[in-house]
């Protein structure tokens, strides 16, 4: 879908991005991360030509981005900023409708699309479509920013630290909402963040940049268990913390043994999508928790001892 081939961006004598090469697959959630000044936002903005590249090539759908009409190309690439940048004098419907109107969609189709998108992010169209941005919370405004980028159904969405200005609870909720949305719409998403925990939670693959260079590209598992150098190890920090926050209970749960089969009322039930970190305090109070699988009786369990063993194995694997 998107290909970087020896891409360099210079500002005078300084190379902000230095011979970067990678591919982003169709439908992939690809995260760019790194310390301040590493070139991640510059890399993102070169995709839709907000920043021109100095050397190399970027391909979009197997064609150099320079070959596209810039306005038409940007219609096919949604963009979500950290600064939400909704038009304050426009209603929510009018904000979302901007690109469909420029593409000359029928008014009926635009209204249908706006309502569909609002419902998709849990905002009742009858309540929110005619409100103004100032009448929404920060988290609600950012949801509008996301669906506005989706309005004309572009194949690619660029997201530049979209949740970093939000409080921790709103940020976590929007992360979860975006992952759930992506499971349905399967867009190609390029996502910039400075937060390694966010990167590990969100990305199918992560690209770690440092001083304009690619240090490593891979999955969360690659970064935890196969860091390529000391910079990568230093950047990902404490492995236990990331394991706690990234490993889903459904991925490590075991079938219920006879020991616990008759005790389903004694232990709490949790969702398989929750992480070890989400229920760590619960495991301090109960030796086991059951997976809520919407059946009459739970079938899988996570025990306190199993979690401790799992973390010990992770640490052995990294050392």
Could you report the average pLDDT of every consecutive run of 10 residues in the chain (319 residues)?
A: 96 95 96 94 96 96 93 88 85 94 93 93 94 92 90 93 84 86 92 89 93 94 85 77 73 81 77 83 81 78 76 53
The DSSP bridge partners found for residue 109 are none
Q: Is 114 helix (H, G, I), strand (E, B) or coil?
A: helix
Tokens 């050392």 sit on residue: 319
For 81-105, b where at least 16 C-beta lie within 10 A, e where not — what string? ebebebeeeebbbbbbbebbeeeeb
pLDDT value, residue 221: 75
How far is residue 213's CA from residue 161's CA, in Å, rounded to a whole number?
A: 20
pLDDT value, residue 180: 86
Contact yes or no for 257/283 (Cβ under 8 A) = no
* pTM for this model (two decimals): 0.76
pLDDT value, residue 242: 60
DSSP letter for each residue of 24-77 = E-TT-EEEEE-STTSSHHHHHHHHTTSS--SEEEEEETTEEGGGS-HHHHHHTE
pLDDT value, residue 319: 39
How far is residue 99's CA from residue 76's CA, in Å, rounded to a whole number?
A: 10
Structure tokens at 177: 């909402």
How far is residue 47's CA from residue 166's CA, in Å, rounded to a whole number?
A: 26
Domains, the chain, with CATH or none:
2-237 (3.40.50.300), 245-318 (3.90.1280)
Average pLDDT over all residues of the chain = 87
How far is residue 255's CA from residue 13's CA, in Å, rounded to a whole number?
A: 60
Contact yes or no for 166/136 (Cβ under 8 A) = no
How far is residue 115's CA from residue 92's CA, in Å, rounded to a whole number?
A: 11
How far is residue 314's CA from residue 221's CA, in Å, rounded to a whole number?
A: 10
- Per-residue pLDDT reduced to its tens digit, 107-129: 999 999 999 999 988 899 999 99
pLDDT value, residue 249: 86
pLDDT value, residue 318: 44
- Exposed / middle / buried, residue 145 (Cβ in 10 Å: 0-12, 13-18, 19+): buried
- Exposed / middle / buried, residue 72 (Cβ in 10 Å: 0-12, 13-18, 19+): exposed
């Amino acid at each position: 879908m998107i290909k970087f081939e020896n891409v360099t961006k210079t500002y005078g004598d300084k190379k902000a991005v230095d011979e970067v090469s990678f591919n982003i697959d169709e439908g992939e959630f690809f995260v760019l991360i790194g310390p301040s000044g590493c070139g991640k936002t510059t890399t993102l903005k070169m995709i839709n030509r907000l920043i021109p590249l100095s050397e190399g090539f970027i391909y979009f759908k197997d064609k150099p981005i320079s070959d596209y009409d810039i306005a038409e190309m940007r219609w096919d690439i949604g963009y979500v900023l950290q600064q939400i940048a909704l038009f304050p004098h426009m209603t929510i419907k009018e904000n979302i409708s901007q690109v469909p109107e420029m593409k000359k969609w029928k008014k009926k189709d635009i209204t249908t699309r706006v309502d569909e998108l609002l419902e998709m992010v849990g905002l009742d169209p009858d309540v929110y479509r005619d409100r103004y941005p100032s009448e929404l919370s920060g988290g609600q405004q950012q949801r509008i920013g996301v669906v506005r980028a989706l309005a004309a159904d572009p194949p690619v969405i660029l997201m530049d630290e979209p949740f970093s200005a939000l409080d921790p609870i709103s940020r976590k909720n929007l992360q979860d909402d975006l992952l759930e949305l992506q499971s349905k719409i399967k867009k190609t998403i390029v996502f910039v963040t400075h937060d390694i925990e966010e990167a590990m939670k969100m990305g199918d693959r992560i690209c770690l940049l440092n001083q304009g260079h690619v240090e490593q590209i891979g999955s969360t598992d690659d970064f935890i268990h196969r860091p390529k150098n000391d910079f990568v190890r230093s950047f990902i920090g404490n492995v236990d913390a990331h394991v706690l926050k990234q490993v889903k209970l459904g991925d490590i749960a075991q079938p219920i043994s006879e020991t616990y089969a008759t005790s389903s009322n004694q232990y709490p039930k949790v969702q398989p999508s929750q992480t070890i970190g989400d229920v760590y305090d619960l495991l301090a109070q109960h030796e086991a928790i059951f997976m809520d699988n919407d059946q009459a009786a739970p079938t899988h369990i996570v025990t306190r001892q199993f979690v401790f063993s799992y973390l010990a194995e992770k640490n052995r694997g990294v050392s």
